[in-house]
Amino acid sequence: MERVEDITLDICKCRPAPVQLVQHGFFPCSPVRPTLAVSLDMLEFVAELFLHIAPNERGWAATLVKYLKARGYHFVTADSFRHCFANALAHYQQLVRLVDAEVEELVDRSRALSGEDCVAPQLDETTPVNGQEYSNMQDTATFLSDHNVPSTYLQTRCPLCFGSNSSENGDLKVDAIVCLDANFQLKRQRDLDRRAGHQGETGTQDPFVVSPRTIELSRRDLELWEAKILDLRPENEAHAVEDEDKVEDDLKMPNLTYTACGESFIAADGDRVKALTQYFSDTGVLAMLCRHDIPLVIASMWTAGEKQFYACALLDFLFKHLPRCWRIGVLYDIGCQMDQSLKKWNFMPDWSPCLEWGISIFHAYGHQWTCQLWVTGYHRRLFILDLQVECIDEEKWGDFGKWLRVRVDQAQSRLDEAKEKLAESTFSIEYLLHQFKDQCAYHSKPIMRQSKTQGARAIEHILSLQSTLEAQQENLRELISEGNDVIPEDSAGEAVLVEWQERVHSTKLAISQLQSNIKKRTEGLKLGDRVAARKLEQLKKDRWITMQLNLRILREQLVRKLHARKFELATLDRAHSTWILDQKTKVHVEKAVHHRSSRIDATMKKYNAKIKEMAEYRRTSRTISKSAYIPPLLLKEGLYKMDVDQDIWEDARADVGDFPDGVLPQWLVDASVKKGIFMAQEVVNCEQELERCKVESSNLRTWFYMEYWVVKRLVKEADDEVSFFALRRLHQLYEWLELWRVNMIHVPTLSTAPSWDEFLPPPTLEHHASCIRVHVPNVDGDDDDAVSSDDDQDGEVEEDIETEDLGFITLIDNVIGDFQ
């Protein structure tokens, strides 16, 4: 702060204060009678800063007030500056997004035009800002509808996945891959108003604001899907347990497999209290991302658990913007449960056959976002979330070429390595894939086809529930032990304590449900099959059965601890790379990881000791077959990676009687076949990945070719203000092109994809500005601003209007007109 300059502005209806302030490089805190104006440079700096740190407006304002006070500049109150600065920042960010949205809308309309005689679309200056419609998730009516290619919205989200229909020319199982998962860290507190006359109300000081490029699905669409699912699947049948173990409809697995899988995943039970609804209005966020980690759409959740209608709403949105012939791969941690529900209750018969489900651990965005602590106003928080998404997009788009190059190099390297190892094997890739198919078929067939009576199946299910119950009880004991170390000395400690309380609550609820289920099934067995009931009591005392159950309990405990440790390490990785977590929270997580590792080692030792005990008992017992299967010992090396080929995934339930002639198959007992199956799958997956990268490269080239010429045409034919902003868009496209060209030299592409060697650099912004007609709001032909300056002896300062701000000034002028 080197000097103070006094500028006097003559205000009239033709030259309102906000317009003149913007011309001088300042942004007003209000469109009418502003009391504070902030430098555009400072607002741009703060806006960019808040995309990379927690957007703490209060902290920024307090720092600036103290800084200015030390230099002799005082405000009436600190809060007055904070409120005015926050208003200026919010309106500035909103208007910048409006300008970008207007340019995108003009590009979309220009894309729809064809022919040489078509007139370029013009800026709509008659419709008020709040009456404009943009291509976002709140209003989908403006999307370009072309059933041969994905919608314009999806193309602008990720051109690699949705830039064209090149996948139809490739040899792919699915045309695109997306992933779904919920984040229960992003909650909205029930912040009730305490002002006189508004006690208990919410939102009374929360003005509605939404980004014109928002990706949040509307509450209305979600509620429609909630009602639809309740209508098709009554609430009392939503959790019905299938007693008969069979494969029905078009499902791939028997009923009891889905039931057991559902009991294993917390997310599959939508009634679990992941977030206490008495404290939170919104309990979390469900997001859909493409495989390049670009968010496509998000939905705010208000229920206690992760209900299926949220996922259905997101998938319904996706298929509305895709060609009917497209198939989509969906990665979801409860994908098997969604597949069962869609086919059993026929929620969406049109697009259900177009889905391929997979299992994935997602949780890539949003955990522990401290911006939720600092940004006031629910709608303002959602706006900030959209800004964060835009920041992610900007970072990802420039790296598209690098991403493809690295992906191709890795896939080719792993393919060569897998083929080299298969060449050393005595088994052909066809034989190994056939073995894998047999392995899948064995694990997917119903228990009743494994020569077991109805009573035997009931017994096995009760024993399985009992083992799950004991595992959950051990989990609760460990949680209680961990709670002794949670001391809420700071905000980070309080956040950890709240999360621990929720985990304890959900674990107790799961234990109660398991106990009730076991009691119900045991009593039913006593009434319906007394022989089976007596056998159940005998089996509970059988040493071999007890050892198998204990081994299964130890295995489940070990897998759960490995999952928890991997999640905590991922949290630390995100904290290190993006600085999302503060140092105190990082300390809490590091302590939890260290504590978890020691418990994993102890559980692994117990597991291996139990296997040795079983082997010794099998050797000395006269009743246990010498060929009874026992899983291999676990090695610590590679255990923490949790790869799919680790021995931790071996199950001890295999029975010799399940196989013809009592011979165990090669995929179960032959280590070389197990390794070969993994390598054969590696070959298939790498070849599929290389083909997908080729298709995505073609999508990107096709999209860029169309986008560049459409924007270039807009630059040439539109009026001056639109032309300038279109040229800025053209410069952004060419900047990306330069990055993509360098990285994608050796990335394969389809022969039908256009080349981008013909594109030349666009004209500079400075050259373009010197050629266009300068448009300034009406000043009545007189330059009658009375301006005084401490640095100008003549008492006047010449107005320095930068051409690149003119279109922005015009938009502000329109906004001001809406207020007057």
What pLDDT is attached to residue 262?
61
What pLDDT is attached to residue 465?
73
Whether 220 and 369 map to the same domain: the answer is yes
User: Is residue 577 domain-resident?
Assistant: yes
Question: Rounded mean pLDDT of 343-352?
Answer: 83
Most confident of 20-24, 157-161, 770-774: 157-161
pLDDT band at 532 (very low <50, low <70, confident <90, very high): low
The token duo for 115 is 């022919």
Please give the share of the chain, as a percent, with pLDDT higher than 90.
Answer: 21
Whether 92 and 156 map to the same domain: the answer is no
374-424 residue pLDDT tens: 334 666 777 777 888 888 888 899 999 999 999 999 999 999 999 999 999
User: Is residue 381 domain-resident?
Assistant: yes
104-138 residue pLDDT tens: 888 888 877 755 556 667 777 777 777 777 877 76
Whether 183 and 277 map to the same domain: the answer is yes
Q: In the chain, how many domains are there?
A: 4
Domain end residue (candidates: 495, 521, 541): 541
Cα distance between residue 284 and residue 384, in whole Å: 16
311-333 residue pLDDT tens: 999 999 999 889 988 999 998 87
Which of 195-199, 217-221, 361-365, 403-407 is the least confident region?
361-365
672-723 residue pLDDT tens: 998 899 899 999 999 999 999 999 999 999 999 999 999 998 888 888 778 8
pLDDT band at 656 (very low <50, low <70, confident <90, very high): low
What pLDDT is attached to residue 39?
92
User: Is residue 137 domain-resident?
Assistant: no
Selected residue with higher pLDDT from 549 and 709: 709
594-612 residue pLDDT tens: 555 667 788 888 888 988 9
Whether 84 and 158 map to the same domain: the answer is no
177-210 residue pLDDT tens: 999 988 877 777 766 666 666 666 665 566 777 8
Whether 62 and 117 map to the same domain: the answer is yes
User: Is residue 421 domain-resident?
Assistant: no
Task: Say how many CA atoms lie within 13 Å of 575 toward its Cβ.
Answer: 19
pLDDT band at 268 (very low <50, low <70, confident <90, very high): very low
Residue range of the domain that includes 239: 152-197+208-398
276-298 residue pLDDT tens: 566 677 888 999 999 999 999 99
What pLDDT is attached to residue 740?
95
What pLDDT is attached to residue 310?
94
What pLDDT is attached to residue 648?
66
What pLDDT is attached to residue 689?
94
Whether 108 and 183 map to the same domain: the answer is no
What pLDDT is attached to residue 365?
30
The gap between the terminal CA atoms of the chain, to the nearest Å, is 36
What pLDDT is attached to residue 628?
77
565 with 482: CB under 8 angstroms?
no
Looking at residue 457, the DSSP 8-state letter turns out to be H
Instruction: Give the number of residues written for the chain.
Output: 820
Whether 529 and 562 map to the same domain: the answer is no
Whether 184 and 113 map to the same domain: the answer is no
Most confident of 83-92, 627-636, 696-705: 696-705
Q: Provide the CA 529 distance to its chain's centre, in angstroms.
A: 49
Burial class (CB in 10 A: 0-12, 13-18, 19+), 209: middle
What pLDDT is attached to residue 404?
96
The token duo for 418 is 């897998």
Domain end residue (candidates: 633, 652, 671): 652
Cα distance between residue 674 and residue 644, in whole Å: 11
User: Is residue 782 domain-resident?
Assistant: yes
Which of 246-255, 425-434, 780-789 is the least confident region?
780-789
Asked whether the predicted pLDDT for residue 29 surpasses 60, the reply is yes
Asked whether the predicted pLDDT for residue 9 surpasses 80, the reply is yes
The helix/strand/coil state of 81 is helix
User: Is residue 267 domain-resident?
Assistant: yes
Radius of gyration of the CA atoms of the chain, in A: 32
Whether 113 and 218 map to the same domain: the answer is no
Question: Rounded mean pLDDT of 142-150?
Answer: 62
Asked whether the predicted pLDDT for residue 647 surpasses 80, the reply is no
Whether 105 and 177 map to the same domain: the answer is no
Whether 219 and 158 map to the same domain: the answer is yes
Pairing of strands 355-358, 328-332: parallel
User: Is residue 754 domain-resident?
Assistant: no
Domain end residue (candidates: 358, 381, 398): 398
User: Is residue 532 domain-resident?
Assistant: yes
* Sequence-separated (6 or more) residues with CB below 8 Å from residue 216: 137, 138, 297, 298, 299, 300, 382, 385, 386
pLDDT band at 807 (very low <50, low <70, confident <90, very high): very low
pLDDT averaged over every residue in the chain? 75
SS (H, E, C) 158-212: CHHHHCCCHHHHCCCCCCEEEEEEEECCCCEECCCCCCCCCCCCCCCCCCCCCCC
Whether 595 and 534 map to the same domain: the answer is no
Taking CA atoms, 93 is separated from 40, 43, 212, in Å, by 11, 9, 11
Asked whether the predicted pLDDT for residue 797 surpasses 70, the reply is no
Selected residue with higher pLDDT from 540 and 426: 426
Asked whether the predicted pLDDT for residue 803 surpasses 50, the reply is no
The helix/strand/coil state of 428 is coil
pLDDT band at 487 (very low <50, low <70, confident <90, very high): low
532 with 455: CB under 8 angstroms?
yes
What pLDDT is attached to residue 416?
96
381 with 375: CB under 8 angstroms?
yes
